């Protein structure tokens, strides 16, 4: 045995939300005010989010998937349209395309260690309406600028799924602000959380106005029963947004602690595994610590026996049973396939101790 199981019989989960007393206190004020639907705290939360992101306009959404739907819908993408989507991403990216009646077109990624979309594999046609990229695992797509230029030169829309990239910036521009619209998620495992929640940002005032109608039953403000447009209820509650405000107050601390987690893992594992390719011009806020090794799924089973909950990277979209109707050629997705076969997401959450990180690292090395 190469290491001592000092944490034997302990369960180390994949993730735990970072919550503390200040979060409860923030929610308490909403209960004291007896305004628990969307109200003034939601406005406060949105303005703070836009300040961090650096976007002039934004609309809150009930969750990240609906944020993607809203982004597509206000861009008039629908039946008969096609949206280019990278093959390695969470399924919500493609599901939102289905929700508006359009077709997702899957494209391979740059390398097994870099899930950015491979621009050389994109084939446009008269039905191509947009390219949707996903900034994954707390870093920016490594070819963000190139994708933006590609879309401009080919007169197609750029949509950014930045669900896992809140706070990720190059100091000049934040992920989610390169395209016509960008979306974010505040699910339980995101950098900041509201349990469920999302945001759509844009620099286009007209698009933002359409978002306001879409999310609020076809009216700009609540309290009226005149509805100029067809809209729905995609609002967030002040209860959720109060949690979000408290979380934003700890953003710098969260970023610092996640950087320390990553540094500890990197020190222990460098030379044993490959790490996710990072965009060096952007900061990195690890949504997960992602590493790559041969026979990753067998390795994860061995780690499970040590009480460690690891997780694979995303199953390629072209292989998803629900998308079998598109009859994709598996040979066209070599890198996405390898990414899934080799990728491991290690436990990554605030409160994970150095001893636990070392335990996970030793288990991984031993399993390899």
For the cut 50, the answer to whether the pLDDT of residue 367 exceeds it is yes
- The answer on pLDDT for 1 being more than 50 is no
User: How far is the C-alpha of 140 from the C-alpha of 137, rounded, in Å?
Assistant: 9
Q: What is the pLDDT of residue 267?
A: 97
β 157-161/128-134 pair status: parallel
DSSP 259-328: HHHHHHHHHHHBTTBEE----TTS----SSEEEE-TTHHHHHHHHHHTTB--EE-PPPGGG-GGGGGG--
Over residues 63-92, the mean pLDDT reads: 98
Say whether pLDDT at 228 is over 60.
Answer: yes
Report, as an integer, the average pLDDT of 276-290. Answer: 97
pLDDT, residue 223, reads: 87
157: region left, alpha or beta (phi > 0 left; psi from -120 to 50 alpha): beta
pLDDT confidence of 284, banded at 50, 70, 90? very high
Query: Across residues 77-106, what is the average pLDDT?
Result: 98
Q: What is the pLDDT of residues 121-147, one digit of tens each?
A: 999 999 999 999 999 999 999 999 999
- Give me the percent of the chain exceeding a pLDDT of 70: 98
What mean pLDDT is predicted for residues 63-90? 98
Q: Give pLDDT, residue 8.
A: 59
pLDDT of 9: 67
At 322-345, the pLDDT tens digits run 999 999 999 999 999 999 999 999
Task: Place 5 in a pLDDT band, splitting at 50, 70 and 90.
Answer: low
Q: Are 282 and 260 in contact (CB under 8 A)?
A: no
Going from the N-terminus, what domains does the chain have, and what CATH number goes with each? Answer: 21-248 (3.40.640.10), 251-367 (3.90.1150.10)
Per-residue pLDDT, averaged over 112-121, amounts to 98
Model confidence pLDDT, tens digit, residues 179-213: 999 999 999 999 999 999 999 999 999 999 999 99
């Amino acid at each position: 045995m190469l290491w001592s199981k000092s944490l034997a019989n302990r369960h180390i989960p994949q993730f735990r939300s970072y919550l503390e007393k200040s979060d409860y206190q923030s929610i308490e004020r909403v209960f004291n005010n007896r305004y628990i639907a969307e109200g003034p705290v939601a406005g406060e939360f949105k303005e703070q989010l836009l300040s961090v992101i650096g976007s002039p306009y934004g609309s809150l959404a009930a969750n990240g998937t609906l944020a993607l739907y809203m982004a597509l819908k206000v861009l008039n993408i629908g039946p008969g349209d096609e949206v280019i989507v990278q093959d390695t991403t969470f399924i919500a990216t493609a599901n939102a395309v289905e929700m508006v009646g359009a077709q997702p077109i899957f494209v391979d990624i740059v390398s097994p260690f870099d899930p950015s979309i491979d621009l050389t594999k994109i084939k446009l046609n008269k039905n191509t309406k947009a390219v949707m990229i996903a900034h994954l695992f707390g870093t920016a797509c490594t070819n963000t600028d190139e994708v933006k230029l590609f879309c401009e030169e080919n007169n197609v829309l750029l949509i950014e799924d930045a669900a896992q990239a809140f706070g990720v910036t190059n100091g000049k521009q934040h992920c989610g602000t390169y395209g016509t619209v960008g979306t974010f998620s505040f699910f339980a495992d995101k950098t900041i959380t509201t349990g469920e929640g999302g945001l759509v940002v844009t620099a286009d005032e007209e698009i933002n106005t359409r978002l306001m109608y879409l999310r609020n039953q076809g009216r700009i403000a609540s309290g009226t029963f005149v509805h100029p447009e067809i809209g729905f209820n995609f609002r967030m509650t002040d209860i959720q947004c109060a949690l979000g405000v408290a979380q934003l107050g700890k953003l710098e601390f969260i970023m610092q602690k996640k950087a320390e987690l990553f540094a500890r893992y990197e020190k222990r594992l460098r030379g044993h595994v490959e790490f996710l390719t990072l965009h060096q011009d952007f900061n990195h806020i690890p949504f997960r610590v992602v590493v790559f090794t041969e026979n990753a799924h067998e390795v994860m089973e061995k780690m499970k026996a040590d009480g460690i909950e690891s997780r694979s990277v995303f199953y390629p979209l072209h292989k998803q049973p629900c998308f079998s109707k598109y009859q994709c050629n598996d040979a066209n997705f070599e890198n996405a396939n390898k990414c899934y076969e080799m990728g491991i997401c290690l436990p990554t959450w605030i409160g994970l101790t150095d001893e636990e990180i070392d335990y996970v690292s030793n288990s991984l090395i031993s399993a390899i």
